[in-house]
Structure 1
């Protein structure tokens, strides 16, 4: 079969073109990408995988008994139905719930990265549908990735977007940084991904250029490869979740040896004196010096003081990774990293100061586009109810229960129907056995999905949707200059429909089709969204091809703004004329607002707050449950690249030889990870790239319980979220704490159970 024409497309992990050769889909990264992402190679084998959902399905128990709590969710059979039957059932259920409970009766979940396309973006589609047809929904705020920082940063320095995306650029790091102290590192597997797509992966090259110029990179973390080899980094191996203690000790050395920038602190910050009393031990009797921090962090006191003395007098950059705040008291390292940078006086200078989440996504450290990207309007949500995103199980298990958040005393909503499109909470959420119990409480769970994820297996109504290659769209982001025509490359799998078609049909049944569609087909929406960008280009006097020319060419290059350093650069240059959007207008080392909330788990200045979960007894090892390198979250876990990197069909857990040997674990053995919340199997890789006392198992392996009828079944595939703790970072942010937990690891000697994560659930004959 001859090669057919290659056409452009885009994904969160890269811009590419694809075509058919000898009956196989071939994916080619964009030729301008200096460091393409291999996750693109998940596409070919994912297209027609058995895990795909081919037709609408209804859970047997819901179909027979109607809406209501049901402990058979997650282990029931499914009944194939026609599209008309599924849509009629769903429209009637939406009408029932909203007539009885209003918009507050529906939780619009849809947390996820479903598509780089700006129109067929499932989260935007479902929110638009709920707003235009039902008047709104209970929403979630913040993110699993940055739940703590999203709340604390605006109080102490400014919005997360400004501090992470419009602050320190990779260009400035390559040209100006002299020493980069990277707490949690800047792993390339994370910066390979960007919402809306990415055409050039520049992070590796920027760090290599900086290192070749003489910039020193220092990685603080328990995993050696959280900075690439090109950075030539020193590895400061630290006990997990003790970074705040190290930062305090560094600050103590700077303060007691007079190495801090007192002029910067006086002009640009508030609260130094109150924090200094805590740092030096005047307020609590405990100086936060290197001797104090050494046993907490596992780093010798002399190494701490030596590092502190290297930082002043250089263009120093303090970076704090997302991972640090995805843990107990996650607000503290974010805040203390800012204080440490303020003490060095480099904030606002090119390549210096403070960079939260640099390298966490490909969006960070890049120039902003000078024109608006395409975006589907979501309409107005008339329901004021919301929850912090990581508190969904709390809401479902304790409707009406009280909780605290960002200075407010709130009550959890009591939704009856959960509508999920574009996302997989059985990947993102923690303590999956608790989540299973939570999802059994709702009256109806609706899921749009391409494949039989664990979330789909708990749903009452399952609607098969197209994957990105099976529809047209526009790829676009705020920080990448390419706008990409995402051509349809293959026909939909089975009876799959795109979200827009599904919601259009539902809106018609609810008498709201005109409001939802505004009279446009999917192609007409693409033309309309592109028209906004075209108008922006024309207004700036720039070339603006019409839609047909753009679609034929496959891409256009958008203008980008200059790297102006954002609000921190402006603030440094003119603190009175360009104050920060904080209560004081300055960097808040002590924050009166947070102090006024009276939270013992998040006081008015950064502090060392020991974690509740520490290795001991039956759980003597730290587990790092970080992001995977072979897929985005759990997307296309069944794809070729993801599958090839598993061992013995299971996710790979890394363990240090000093921990493997006494447990009789050899490289390639299947092991059991366990704590009081659950257990899972994985395949061991014995390596010195992890700190002794630490094991690492990435998230994203599809949850696969050996016996779903058990209260705490063994996940045979390697999903670490059966082990992680479902608790908020603090009463301030209620962010997730899924990065770090404690476990025991043993060699698994029983017969290996089969892996059924990608096998569709049992079904009974169609109605």
Structure 2
């Protein structure tokens, strides 16, 4: 069977007289329609057709025209020569610490044609580069959680009970930020079976009860939805903890047995430090959730069984650590943490694999080799790195030096989609001497480059696809050949490696087909039950056997049964309710935890709307923007923003008309649609629109692409994590 593997799942390749077509994989119970549109990109007008070099860079403009310039077509071999010479020049003049290897993990579901792995291997062989740490998706929680329960639970999904236990236990599931099923379409290495919807249906059929708290009714996949002001989740959580405390619902000896810092939490909830008890009445004024409902939810949690789910979006905000920390506090005080199917879940439905009970197919990747340069930045601090060479930033108890970057080399990802305050990024992006980008289509990142290499699309190359969080491995077959002049990233980087005298070390003497077979054998070594290479190629897929129920471990379950025998990797060996590093006086987060506040407190309160920027239903971030699903989602050629009818009436904007969303960072063009499911005072504009700034007569830039990150704040979530803080941006609406 010929299959194509993508982040949206697996598709069967049908080769009919009218040309190839992608059809749903017969073994997938809930295939995504979005990925079936991949082939529309083959001849799309945005396709990069060959190697290109920016005209101003050739003239020596030093980056001044980057983003506002045209390009000159160049022979691929000549472009590789330019890139090799530029890499050698920067190394010789400024050293490898002046090179930033930019890449992101969603460039390919394939394990070999993984752009960041390919680029990083070349740069490591060439002396190293400044790297980026963590992700935009989960970068705040990943740094915080080890301080609460140990590093074993830092990765996305590691802190989650599995759906089989959730369904068996049927806890009261209180979901902050919701569980958008559209997010569960995707998985980093693809999947053969989308299972999240069926698990939620099984939970409902078993009598499970779910209540979702969020500003948007679309966040609730089942059960009740309660409107909650964006950025106030931690306030609601702490108010529920206050109810447990004052109503004597906390088993103090049990809490002290498994947690350190109880006295500090008790003092905080009672307001001993700031004079403000964290009562439901206090929370009502900030959250918009009635005090009596907060009290009822707290009582329901304490009665158990209960599970608190936290969307990943909650921690992408200033002090985004607050809701994750507050949830640990509440689940511990309620006596639910560590119980089977109960406690805390981080991002159920955030991607396809989260919560699924399965054996994880951890295997080899394209080996990048060691990086001789130890310097790194948190990934969300790219703009700050470019703006302040020689400066410093605090991060997780350390002080990081910001390098003086002269060369940015990017393969995989689109920072002009997922970074914040894109107009500020564009200004900082002009500082390096050279920017090299690999891409398949003319994204904003490609348009802000100096040398552009045309990459083959995923369906134009063979590969194997597998996720370390999933149990499927797929032989992804080439659907069609790339157009003439377009090669895989590996082929392009091999050309450049040859000019650097590194080709043998880079390819290790293997062809692309040889590498793919080699990587598969690495999976077979780890999992001997997988079929041999010839059988795998014939069937096109393989899946690990389901685990026995006893093999599916639950977070903190062993610890709860015997904290002394199974201590956590924290200073106390127990759950840290008030971690020392997090609450240090020099840590801005410390004051945020001792005096919790809405995440938009630093924004202009005169701007009436809180901006919500969820993942789109019709794309993966900005990928597949030219495919049918994304094309159909636009109206009047614009991205669609949803608001409560009262907010549209107040702004004088008619339903279905073009409008502007704006704040001091910029403005975006959208079509505004009335939606009573959106809480008043909020506007929902999904990410994914391609940043297309245009100068207006008043000198301002208007983003015609409708990217919400034109308007979001580029500041670290805190001195602890330096994570992305897109949440909490405030905007105004007016007619276009």
TM range (shorter): over 0.9
- Show the counterpart of 2:28: 33
After superposition, the C-alpha distances for 1:534-559 in whole angstroms (9 at most, x for unaligned) are 22333xxx3x4321221121011223
Higher mean alpha-carbon deviation, 443-452 vs 739-748, is at 739-748
- The 1-side partners of 2:49 and 2:594 are apart by 52
- Please tell me whether the aligned partners of residues 390 and 429 of structure 1 are also in contact (alpha carbons under 8 angstroms): yes
Cα-to-partner distance string for 1:270-309 (whole Å, 9 max, x where unaligned): 0011110110112221110011111011111111112111
- Offset at residue 468 of structure 1 (A): 0.3
In the alignment, is residue 314 of structure 1 matched against residue 299 of structure 2?
no
- Determine if the alignment matches structure 1 residue 168 to structure 2 residue 161: yes
Cα 1:412/1:308, change in 2 over 3 Å: same
1:412 equivalent to 2:402? Answer yes
Equivalent residues of 1:104, 1:414 under 8 A apart: yes
Shift of 1:370: 5.3
Residue 371 of structure 1 deviates from its aligned partner by 4.9
CA spacing shift, 1:643–1:673, aligned 2, 3 Å: same
- Whether the 8 Å CA contact 1:615–1:743 is kept in 2: the answer is no
Structure 2 equivalent of residue 706 of structure 1: 694
1:586-645 deviation per Cα after TM superposition (whole angstroms, max 9, x unaligned): 110011232346313335956513445477665211111121110000001111111111
Quick check: 1:172–1:351 contact (8 Å CA) kept in 2? yes
Aligned to 1:584: 572
8 A Cα contact 1:290 1:302, kept in partner: yes
Q: Which residue of 1 aligns with 2:533?
A: 547
> What does residue 755 of structure 1 align with?
none
Matched residue, 1:508: 498
Closer/same/farther in 2, CA of residues 623 and 614 from structure 1, 3 Å limit: farther
Listed as ranges, the gaps of 5+ residues in structure 2 are: none
1:270 has 2:260 as partner: yes
8 Å CA contact 1:274–1:590 kept in 2: the answer is: yes
Whole-angstrom CA distance in 2 between matches of 1:708 and 1:173: 53
Candidates 176, 182, 192, aligned match of 1:189 = 182
Match of 2:80 among 84, 87, 103: 87
- Contact 1:432-1:722 within 8 A present in 2 as well: yes
Equivalent of residue 60 in structure 1, options 52, 55, 73:
55
CA contact (8 A) 1:131 1:137 kept: yes
User: Shift of residue 23 of structure 1?
Assistant: 2.6
Mark the CA change 1:445 to 1:560 in structure 2 (over 3 Å): closer, same or farther: farther
Residue aligning to 2:610:
622
What is the 5 A alignment of 1:417-436? 417-436=407-426
Q: Indicate yes or no: 2:493 matched with 1:498.
A: no
Cα contact 2:616–2:687 (8 A) shared by 1: yes
Q: Tell me which residue corresponds to 2:173.
A: 180
Q: Does 1:683 align with 2:671?
A: yes
Residue of structure 2 in register with 1:633 after alignment: 621
Q: Distance in 1 between matches of 2:726 and 2:285?
A: 24
Distance 1:709 1:128, change over 3 A: farther
| CA distance in 1 between partners of 2:581 and 2:346 (Å) | 21
| Contact preservation (8 Å) 2:363, 2:526 | no
Instruction: Assess if the C-alpha contact under 8 Å between 1:168 and 1:355 holds in 2.
Output: yes
Q: 1:598 aligns with which of 586, 594, 603?
A: 586
The answer as to whether partners of 1:476 and 1:482 remain within 8 angstroms in 2 is yes
- Cα separation, 1, equivalents of 2:594 and 2:558: 25
8 Å CA contact retained: 2:20, 2:479: no
1:126-147 CA-partner distances (Å, limit 9, x unpaired) = 1111112x12110011111112
Q: Residue 661 of structure 1: which of 641, 649, 659 is its match?
A: 649
Displacement of 1:566 in angstroms is 4.3
After TM superposition, give the deviation of residue 368 of structure 1 in Å.
4.6
| Superposition deviation, residue 565 in structure 1 | 2.7
Say whether residues 1:151 and 2:143 are aligned partners.
yes
TM-superposed deviation, 1:712: 3.9
Conserved 8 A contact 1:332-1:607: no
Matches within 5 A, 1:463-612: 463-538=453-528, 542=529, 544-562=530-548, 563-596=551-584, 598-603=586-591, 607-611=595-599
Measured after TM superposition, the shift of residue 564 of structure 1 is 3.0
Q: How far apart, CA to CA, are the structure 2 residues paired with 1:248 and 1:693?
A: 23
Q: 1:142 to 1:630 in 2, by over 3 A?
A: same
The one-character-per-residue Cα deviations of 1:693-746 (angstroms, maximum 9, x if unpaired) are: 111001111111223999641011211111111111111111111133111111
Q: Alpha-carbon deviation of 1:478?
A: 2.0
Change over 3 Å in CA distance of 1:239–1:372 after alignment to 2: closer
Q: Give the one of 6, 13, 29 matched to 1:11.
A: 6
Q: Supply the distance in 2 between the matched residues of 1:162 and 1:90 (Cα, whole angstroms).
A: 35
8 A Cα contact 1:166 1:368, kept in partner: no
In 1: Cα distance, 2:231 partner to 2:355 partner: 25
Q: Which residue of 2 aligns with 1:140?
A: 132
| 1:313-352 pair list within 5 angstroms | 313-352=303-342
Separation of aligned partners in 1, 2:668 and 2:489: 34
Q: How does 1:742-761 map to 2 (within 5 A)?
A: 742-748=730-736
Match of 1:438 in 2: 428
TM-superposition CA deviations, 1:255-275 (whole Å, max 9, x none): 100112334312111001111
Secondary structure in structure 2 of the residue aligned to 1:592: coil
Superposition TM-score, scaled by structure 1 size: 0.93
Structure 1 unaligned spans of 5+: 1-5, 749-767
Q: By how many angstroms is 1:110 displaced?
A: 0.7
> How far 1:164 moved relative to its partner?
2.1
1:3 maps to: none
- State the SS of the aligned residue for 1:594: coil
Which whole-Å CA distance do the structure 2 matches of 1:469 and 1:54 have between them?
A: 16
CA contact (8 A) 1:370 1:561 kept: no
CA distance in 2, matches of 1:190, 1:313: 31
- Other structure's SS at 2:527 match: helix
* Structure 2 residue aligned with 1:650: 638
Does the CA contact (< 8 Å) of 2:406 and 2:433 recur in 1? yes
How far residue 333 of structure 1 moved from its aligned partner, in angstroms, is: 0.5
1:493 Cα shift? 2.8
**Distance (whole Å) between structure 2 residues aligned to residue 501 and residue 669 of structure 1:** 47
Q: Secondary structure at 1:602's aligned position in 2?
A: helix
In the alignment, the residues of structure 1 paired with residue 403 and residue 388 of structure 2 have an alpha-carbon distance, to the nearest angstrom, of: 9
Query: Is residue 238 of structure 1 aligned with residue 228 of structure 2?
Result: yes
Alignment root-mean-square deviation, CA = 1.9
Matches within 5 A, 1:720-759: 720-748=708-736
Distance in 2 separating the partners of 1:602 and 1:344: 24
- After alignment, is 326-335 or 303-312 more displaced? 303-312
Aligned partners of 2:464 and 2:588: how far apart in 1? 47
Partner of residue 256, structure 1: 246
- Counterpart CA distance in 1 for 2:571 and 2:468 is 28
What is the distance in 2 between the residues matched to 1:43 and 1:253? 51
Q: Aligned partners of 1:613 and 1:603: how far apart in 2? A: 13
CA shift for structure 1 position 175? 1.9
Secondary structure (helix, strand or coil) at the match of 2:583 reads: helix
Aligned to 1:751: none
Q: 1:369, 1:478 within 8 Å by CA — same for their partners in 2?
A: no
